Structure 1
Amino acid sequence: MSDVTLSTTSGIKVVDFRPFVDGTNKQAVADAILNSFKDTGFVYLVNHPVPKEKIEEMFVLSKKFFDLPMEKKQLAPHPPSGTHHRGALPEVWPVHWPQQLPGYSAPGVEKISQHIYDMDELAKNRIKAPDVKESFECGREEDENMPNIWLPDGILPGFKETCLDFFWLLYEAELTIWGAMALGFKLPEDYFKAYHTKPDNQLRLLHYPSVTAEDLAKETITRIGAHSDFGSMTLLMQDDVGGLEIENPQKPGTFTASF
């Protein structure tokens, strides 16, 4: 185990990212991250470029958002199409809509699934056992194809600014991790940046309301179904509830990266 690999749990490495950021041992970090991705598709990163206080600030405002009454959360309405992935979704899901529309999504209106593309099959799957979670998504402000849809001013002061600040922090962190990936493959450090010049990332806030063990056992509801993310990289931060991305305990001070 290298000096930058702090531990391994269930095959997933915990890697100290600081030597890559400060330049003291970039190759060792790059090799450790790539090996973890090769083994499991995941890695825990500590001492990453996203400040702890920024993560905590985002969690505080995320909780405040989800604590709002439903009628206030839905003041950022999702447009009636499957192409503009911003804003709020209604509580009743029209069956002809696509499986997942980012933006605010009320509990029970989504059903994440693994490689189901037929709209009728998606609708049946969603009705059978909907995902009990709610979400809000945003992207860069200058996106002409999918402009952000925010709550009206005054409902949650600072929410928009904090989301956008956090969005750009994570985008820059992603590019830095791609630099490590490139060195892991023995490529120039900026190799993958050429494929990530347009920040079409999404920041997604998620809340999983309480459910009973009995309902979960009956399989009439789910938390989130097994699935594959379609982007090139996912960075996940979570609280001490854990278990939302992989069946492994959350490590304080880390975030999880999947490739």
Structure 2
Amino acid sequence: MLQSPSCLPIVDFVKFEDGTSQEAREIGQQLFAACRDIGFAYLINTGIPQELVDGMFDWSAKLFALPIDTKMKAAHPPEGWKDRGYSSIGREQVSQMVFDTEELKAIRSGKFPDFKESFEVGNELSKCMQNIWIQEEDLPGFRAYAVNFYNICHEFQVSKLLPALAIGMDLPQDFFLNYHKDAENKLRLLHYPAAPTSVFESGEKGRVAAHTDFGTATLLFQDDCGGLEVDSPSSPGEFMPVPPVPDTVLFNIGDFLMRWSNDTLKSTLHRVRAPPRKESDNGVTKERFSIPYFISADRDKTIECLPGCFGPDKPKKYESINAGEYMNMRLNAIY
């Protein structure tokens, strides 16, 4: 059995199969417990090959090594909700549940700016938003590889992950699938450039401040740099390191699902910090790559509180909300 390097649970999908066995029910219960108690878990035996993950990191490194003029040919549109294409360093600034225009301006111009660049890929067959690609002659083969990686992540999402969560919550196995038919998800390639260690120590630059994700859930692939930290379930306000583990996928709940579950499931604060100074680094903090796959409900769906998550002793905290309107509100706050 794989040992977790942190206090996060490990959920093994090796015996999930079609979701009808007792083993599948136990897997669903383990996933639900992780979502309820911590909001994060390492997943193993997902069916997403490690060599495919490694290849996606290789392509990510090639993409971000391109000249800025080449990357800007596929620039993210001005509107935050049009979440596709390339965002240069400083284009995005994470904010945590802040929507006031003046407050957002202050965050973007304040201390600890996010020192990163990103590239967003969605469903190639999306009905509502087209992908924005680096030109094929500038990076031959990238588009095909990224689309395949997206589709492999989606296959795990619909064949195992969402059915397991439904089973764990005593819902019909296809419950969440019925709200995620359009595959309106997002694959994000992230690059945190190398920089003098002193600029991170002084606060002149940051990586990503404490925040929660805001969709249904996230699958995260990390390189070997480290730096991800999660709010401790036993000591809120203290962040614990969540190092990368080969052959695992990190999973976490987003705000949308937390709201949908009437706060039964937990969307947990997490952040990315530069690793501590090392003499061998010669005063330079090395670059970091990560690849989150954000799972989102269909934009035309309106959600009510999940069955089993409310009652006389647990009233509903939230009104019904349209998934597309919710996601647009959150995206517009960070771009």
Q: TM-score range by the shorter chain?
A: 0.7 to 0.9
Residue 198 (structure 1) aligned with residue 182 (structure 2):
yes
Alpha carbons 2:41, 2:251 under 8 Å: kept = yes
Deviation at 1:150? 0.7
**In structure 2, distance between residues paired with 1:205 and 1:245:** 19
Gaps of 5+ in 2: 231-240, 254-335
1:135 match: secondary structure: strand
1:214 match: secondary structure: helix
Alpha carbons 2:162, 2:177 under 8 Å: kept = yes
- Which residue is equivalent to 1:91? none
Moved more, 62-71 or 108-117: 108-117
2:211 match: secondary structure: coil
The 5 A counterparts of 1:1-259 are 6-21=2-17, 25-87=23-85, 104-128=86-110, 129-175=112-158, 176-244=160-228, 246=230, 247-259=241-253
Deviation at 1:144? 4.1
Alpha carbons 1:110, 1:130 under 8 Å: kept = no
In structure 2, do the counterparts of structure 1 residues 53 and 144 end up closer, same or farther at CA, with 3 Å as the change threshold? same
Deviation at 1:58? 0.9
1:225 partner letter: A
Write out per-residue CA displacement over residues 106-151 of structure 1, whole angstroms, 9 at most, x where no aligned residue. Answer: 1233211211112222122112231001100011123243211111
**In structure 2, distance between residues paired with 1:141 and 1:248:** 32
2:48 match: secondary structure: coil
Moved more, 113-122 or 155-164: 113-122
In structure 2, do the counterparts of structure 1 residues 68 and 190 end up closer, same or farther at CA, with 3 Å as the change threshold? same
Moved more, 209-218 or 164-173: 209-218
Aligned length: 239
Moved more, 77-86 or 146-155: 77-86
Deviation at 1:230? 1.2
Normalising by the residue count of structure 1, what TM-score does the alignment of the two structures yield? Answer: 0.85
1:21 match: secondary structure: coil
**In structure 2, distance between residues paired with 1:189 and 1:6:** 27
- Which residue is equivalent to 1:98? none
1:222 partner letter: G
2:15 partner letter: P
**In structure 1, distance between residues paired with 2:77 and 2:5:** 43
1:18 match: secondary structure: coil
Give me the identity figure in percent: 40
2:41 match: secondary structure: strand
Alpha carbons 1:236, 1:245 under 8 Å: kept = no
Alpha carbons 2:228, 2:243 under 8 Å: kept = no
Question: Larger strand proportion, structure 1 or 2?
Answer: 2
Normalising by the residue count of structure 2, what TM-score does the alignment of the two structures yield? Answer: 0.67
In structure 2, do the counterparts of structure 1 residues 31 and 64 end up closer, same or farther at CA, with 3 Å as the change threshold? same
Gaps of 5+ in 1: 88-103
Alpha carbons 1:12, 1:40 under 8 Å: kept = yes
Write out per-residue CA displacement over residues 218-259 of structure 1, whole angstroms, 9 at most, x where no aligned residue. Answer: 222210011111110100001111233632222111010111
In structure 2, do the counterparts of structure 1 residues 206 and 181 end up closer, same or farther at CA, with 3 Å as the change threshold? same
Alpha carbons 1:6, 1:16 under 8 Å: kept = no
Deviation at 1:78? 2.6
